Amino acid sequence: MFSLSPDQQALVQAARATAHAELASTVKEDDEREHFRKDLFGRLGAAGLCGIQTAEEWGGLGLGYVEYALVIEEIAKVAPSYAVAVAVSGLPQVILAQFGNDAQRATWMPGLAAGELLGAFALSEPGSGSDASSLRTTAVLDGDNYRLNGTKFWITHGGVADVYVVMARTGGPGPKGISAFLVSSDTPGLSFGKKEEKMGLRASPTVEMVLEDAIVPVSNRIGPEGNGFSVAMSALDSGRITIAATALGLAQAAMDCAGRYAVTRKQFDTAIIDFQGVGFMLADMAVRIEQARLLTHKAAWLKDNKLAFSPIAAMAKLAATDCAMSVTTDAVQVMGGYGYTREYPVERLMRDAKVMQIVEGTNQVQRVVIARHLKRGWE
């Protein structure tokens, strides 16, 4: 995809205007206070930005992942923590659209798409991160309910979300023993522990989830027993596109900030962008961003056209998040001492960028995914 349609251009402009109007004034304060404003998330929803990919019959805009990625990138240029919020709250919508039933969709999707409800995804545990199939949280059938017991780590929106998609073990070891459940925030036996003190994305809460005989109705199971690992992996494939888009947005914001600085900052009566040492750094940033953006849009286009997109999504996530870390680091360097201070956003963007290389599967895992795909083509 080499150009945007008029409708896509209008959507980008609307997302950009909304992000600046609703988020820009509090970004610095929220980072310093580690504060997430659920009301601001709701305003993004009221503007139609929380259900881009969800069908109109379930309260969304019924657009594709290309449009979803475009919107996420615009939000991330202003406030990456809220781009992550839109992406994470979108995961239950994506999961229910593919694996849920009509009753589950009717209960949850309109509120999620409108930003009136906040969604979350609970897969990781203290002993299972990259090795997700080794999770130990259990779900034991008890009449018309399941009893869930276990601890989940690294839960974005933990304690503030309205509904969680939770992966728990209903069978034996390995991926075939895992099932997926919708767990409402008011579920008996559900509580939250430690809130992580993070280097970046500090306005996005990351909290420990505790399930102690949490009572979840059978009707809240997503699909059949044993299908949970497939649900989780499918969600992560899709999530890699939105994480790539988030990384693109924050990288673009960092480059733009450094570029404006380099045009106005003079040394030896010359704008520093005219020194090759600086100008070449900015040129390399632009190339990395454009490469990553093309991969991200290709992955989104493949998904929209119901073509195999998993390996390209892994490439996009790998390229965009490595790009974000490189670009933000160089942006700080271009701005020198000013870049290292909180007077400018590049130091915050550099901190935000690091976790992009970790979430939705570490970049080492992405390389494993890509290598396996290549191997199958050569065998």
Three-state helix/strand/coil letters over the chain? CCCCCHHHHHHHHHHHHHHHHHHHHHHHHHHHHCCCCHHHHHHHHHCCCCCCCCCHHHCCCCCCHHHHHHHHHHHHHHCHHHHHHHHHHHHHHHHHHHHCCHHHHHHHHHHHHCCCCCEEEECCECCECCCHHHCCCEEEEECCEEEEEEEEEEEECCCCCCEEEEEEECCCCCHHHEEEEEEECCCCCEEEEEECCCCCCCCCCEEEEEEEEEEEEHHHEECCCCCHHHHHHHHHHHHHHHHHHHHHHHHHHHHHHHHHHHHHCEECCEEHHHCHHHHHHHHHHHHHHHHHHHHHHHHHHHHHCCCCCHHHHHHHHHHHHHHHHHHHHHHHHHHHHHHCCCCCCHHHHHHHHHHHCCCCCCHHHHHHHHHHHHHHHHC
Angle of helix 65-78 versus helix 6-23 axis, rounded to 10: 30
Q: In terms of domains, do 68 and 191 share one?
A: no
pLDDT tens, residue by residue, 300-316: 999 999 999 999 999 99
The average confidence (pLDDT) of the chain is 96
- What CA–CA distance (Å, rounded) separates 359 from 317? 10
139 domain residue, yes or no? yes
pLDDT tens, residue by residue, 363-376: 999 999 999 999 99
319 domain residue, yes or no? yes
Q: In terms of domains, do 124 and 113 share one?
A: no
Strand partners, 139: 148
**Do the Cβ atoms of 246 and 349 come closer than 8 Å?**
no
Q: In terms of domains, do 219 and 241 share one?
A: no
Q: What is the pairing mode between strands 163-169 and 119-122?
A: parallel
Q: Is residue 38 pLDDT above 80, yes or no? A: yes
Position 18 confidence tier, pLDDT thresholds 50, 70, 90: very high
pLDDT tens, residue by residue, 279-291: 999 999 999 999 9
Q: Is residue 95 pLDDT above 90, yes or no? A: yes
Position 166 confidence tier, pLDDT thresholds 50, 70, 90: very high
| pLDDT at 210 (0 to 100) | 97
Between the two ends of the chain, the Cα-to-Cα distance in Å is 31
What's the whole-model pTM score? 0.95
Q: How many domains does the chain have?
A: 3
CATH number of the domain within which 242 lies:
1.20.140.10
Contacts 24+ apart (CB under 8 A), 19-26: 19/44, 19/74, 19/75, 19/77, 19/78, 19/79, 19/82, 20/78, 22/47, 23/75, 23/78, 23/79, 23/82, 24/78, 24/79
Mean pLDDT of 47-70: 97
190 domain residue, yes or no? yes
| pLDDT at 129 (0 to 100) | 73
| pLDDT at 1 (0 to 100) | 60
| pLDDT at 63 (0 to 100) | 97
Q: In terms of domains, do 82 and 41 share one?
A: yes
- What CA–CA distance (Å, rounded) separates 13 from 312? 27
Strand partners, 145: 142, 217
Q: In terms of domains, do 238 and 165 share one?
A: no
Q: In terms of domains, do 245 and 213 share one?
A: no
| Residues spanned by the domain of 110 | 6-117
pLDDT tens, residue by residue, 99-149: 999 999 999 999 999 999 999 999 999 988 778 888 999 999 999 999 999
User: Sign of the CA dihedral 146, 150, 152, 157?
Assistant: positive
Q: In terms of domains, do 374 and 317 share one?
A: yes
Whose tokens are 């939770």? That residue is: 166
Mean pLDDT of 10-14: 97
CA proximity to 49, closest of 235, 242, 195, 285: 242
Mean pLDDT of 31-49: 97
| pLDDT at 206 (0 to 100) | 97
**Do the Cβ atoms of 83 and 249 come closer than 8 Å?**
yes
Whose tokens are 């199971």? That residue is: 221
Verify whether residue 34 is a known catalytic residue. no
Out of 171, 206, 226, a domain closes at 226
**Catalytic-labelled residue, pool 22, 67, 73, 360:** 360
The distance of Cα 372 from the centroid of its chain, to the nearest Å, equals: 24
Out of 210, 226, 242, a domain closes at 226
1 domain residue, yes or no? no
Q: In terms of domains, do 112 and 169 share one?
A: no
- What CA–CA distances, in Å, run from 87 to 3, 13, 169, 239, 326? 24, 19, 26, 7, 23
- What CA–CA distances, in Å, run from 130 to 12, 55, 181, 204? 34, 31, 20, 21
Q: In terms of domains, do 39 and 76 share one?
A: yes
